[in-house]
Structure 1
Amino acid sequence: MFRLAHLSDVHLGPLPDVAYRDLVSKRITGYVNWHRNRRQFLHDSVIDAIVGDIKASGANHIAVTGDLVNLALDIEIDMAKQWLELLGNPHDVSVVPGNHDAYVPGAFDKVCRAWGNWMTGDGANPPRDRDAFPYLRLRGNVALIGVTSARATAPFMATGYFREGQSRRMARLLDATGAKGLFRVVMIHHPPIRNAVGPHKRLFGIGRFQKTVLRHGAELVVHGHSHLPSLYTIAGKDGTVPVVGVAAAGQAPGGSKPAAQWNQLDISGDRDNWTLRLTRRGLTGASMPPVELSSQDLLGETPPAVSAPLAVKG
């Protein structure tokens, strides 16, 4: 069995002191949003509890699907690198960036330089820009394919992009790993599902992503961005493919979104006979440490649940 831990939307805080010159951009809206809304519900102690629970689970690998930071300030990017070093060896942790990691022009390339060891495909050079995505990592009989949807956007927008060049590269990786009979996990920040988030947060290229999976196959898609423990399905080459979201890893109880969670994904079997069990673990009320919240089979004898988000408040 291969145990994959999935977490997302860490939003490491608190925000460092910000110079006025750093706020002459989209960052001013994010700065105000942090102080009005996020500051009271995003806490490092919550993240520490989630990470401690992941490490206690004996996970073989950790997937982080974006939004490690808030405004993509240089000091935040460096702080996130230090956090990744504590989270795990780059061999055992895979990261894809989120929209907050690419908050303003130039931030994406800085993230690539700082976090590149956690976003590098096997045998490849560390990424310098978005053309290095998707990347491929093979761990046991699992293929981890890291896609980027992150791009700087206008104020009040948090959209993502999945374009033709990345689609072609992803198709080649899906074909090659499918031919080897591997369990293919696609990691992306924005949910590749219509109406999963509001129009100002949507992924441009949802149809392109879904067609790529339909034509070339995959066994699982994991994402963040919505801050919801959601479950959808899309059509794949050999049947339905679960698309699994997760609550924000830094979310304290009491907010409008569910309190912090992570997904434990247990993968067993082999080609044409995979089993996949999803166990959601997280906070309930003010309790710590995290506890098991739900568990279900997504592949195997029990089919995936009806495609819908589980928007339960924490």
Structure 2
Amino acid sequence: MTFRLAHLSDLHLAPLPRVSPRALLNQRVLGYLSWQRRRYRVHRREVLDALVADLREQAPDHVAITGDLVNISLPAEFVQAAAWLRQLGGPDWITVIPGNHDAYVEMKWREAWAHWSDYMCGDGTECSGDERQAFPFVRRRGDIVLIGLSTAVATPPTFATGRLGRRQLGALDRLLDTLDDDACRVVLLHHPPVATMTDYRRRLVDADAFGAVLKRRRAELVLCGHQHVFQLGALPAPDGGAVPVVGAPSASLHGGDRHHEGGYIVYDLAPTDHGWAIDLELRRFDPTTGSFARVFKRCLRQGSGEAGIRLATAAS
């Protein structure tokens, strides 16, 4: 039976809540100035509303959101994002992992991620209230296994790098080794783990270590975001093939050209006699109609274990 998975990323929910001067006595001031100068014009709530309407028509079995729900990590932003998530659907239907904007500054768990912690907990578990122990988490929907990772760390000004860390990488290695062969392993993280998908100041600093885990342990699909454009890449797989790595565009973007409009991705995952077949459909906002439509559809994996992409990264 085919499982339909929707992939959203980089929502950057608007509007920005009221900001006190005291809240800007840190790195937030740069993000606030960026929002006031430009970002409020390109991350539009009406685009996100149109996406939600289209998402309901597509009727996915599950929704994965790969980070950056908020903008500058104001406490009120996390409350606002939690309310938006609950309007979209329940935590049994939606899985969330954090992005760098969700960790713009160091914050206490109860003031930040606690507001949507039930969307990023493993099946039958409760979040510990400590981000160092909350990841990776596992959610299983039939034979589909969603593995949530966090690359979200506070960074110096002008940097937006991410990090998994040794503990999380080790746990991921052990986890992938224990899953049964029939499972379709879908790994979620915010920062692209392929070097050519991002630049130095926005990179995943331990991408090589993550790639080494996937070269040793099987995974069918890696989903990420961060770059605000659709990206398609790959990492080496244990069988000598490739693991597809897909970066989703920003869900709320209104950039003025077809490559910089809001979008999301729908995957159809189907078991075959020789593994998992994966079809990808990119859906994008059309400003002329005010609604979302298919841009293209592509087979990522035939079910033979061979990915339908080259190991070199392609982006559009």
Q: Scaled by the length of structure 2, what TM-score is found?
A: 0.94
**What is the distance in 1 between the residues matched to 2:252 and 2:25?**
27
Amino acid at match of 2:11: V
The aligned residue for residue 40 of structure 2 is 39
- TM-superposed CA distance for 1:44, in Å, is 0.6
The 8 Å contact of residues 109 and 129 in structure 2, kept in 1 or not, is answered as: no
Within 2, Cα distance between the matches of 1:109 and 1:205? 28
Residue of structure 2 equivalent to 1:148: 150
Report how far residue 127 of structure 1 moved. Answer: 3.9
1:290 corresponds in structure 2 to: 292
Alignment of 1:1-314 (within 5 A): 1-106=2-107, 110-130=111-131, 131-177=133-179, 179-238=180-239, 239-254=241-256, 258-270=260-272, 272-300=274-302, 303-306=307-310, 307-311=312-316
Is the 1:182–1:271 contact (alpha carbons within 8 Å) kept by the matching residues of 2?
A: no
Q: Could you tell me how far 1:271 is from its partner in structure 2?
A: 6.8
* Partner amino acid, structure 2, of 1:67: D
Residues 182-201 of structure 1: CA deviation (Å, up to 9, x unaligned): 00000000000103122111
User: How far, CA to CA, are the matches of 2:171 and 2:42 in structure 1?
Assistant: 38
Code of the aligned partner of 1:236: A
In structure 2, the CA distance between the partners of 1:133 and 1:271, relative to structure 1 (3 Å rule), is: farther
CA separation in 2, counterparts of 1:134 and 1:34?
31
Counterpart CA distance in 1 for 2:53 and 2:141 is 22
SS of equivalent residue, structure 1 residue 37: helix
Unpaired runs of 5+ in structure 1? none
Give the secondary structure class of the aligned counterpart of 2:116.
Answer: helix
CA distance in 1, matches of 2:175, 2:301: 22
Residue pair 2:263, 2:285 contacting (<8 A) in 1 also:
yes
Classify 1:294/1:149 alpha carbon distance in 2 versus 1 (closer, same or farther; 3 Å).
same
Cα shift at 1:15: 1.0
Cα distance in structure 1, aligned partners of 2:87 and 2:25: 33
Root-mean-square deviation (CA, aligned residues, Å) is 1.7
Percent identity, please.
36
In 2, Cα distance between equivalents of 1:176 and 1:110: 34
Cα-to-partner distance string for 1:5-46 (whole Å, 9 max, x where unaligned) = 000000001111111000000000000111112111111110
Instruction: Tell me the TM-score normalized by structure 1.
Output: 0.94
Aligned partners of 2:165, 2:268: CA distance in 1, in Å? 31
Provide Cα deviations, 1:37-89, integer angstroms capped at 9, x if missing partner.
Answer: 21111111100111111111110000000000001101100000001101111
Deviation of 1:284 after TM superposition, in Å, equals 3.1
Structure 1, 149-158 or 264-273: larger mean CA deviation:
264-273
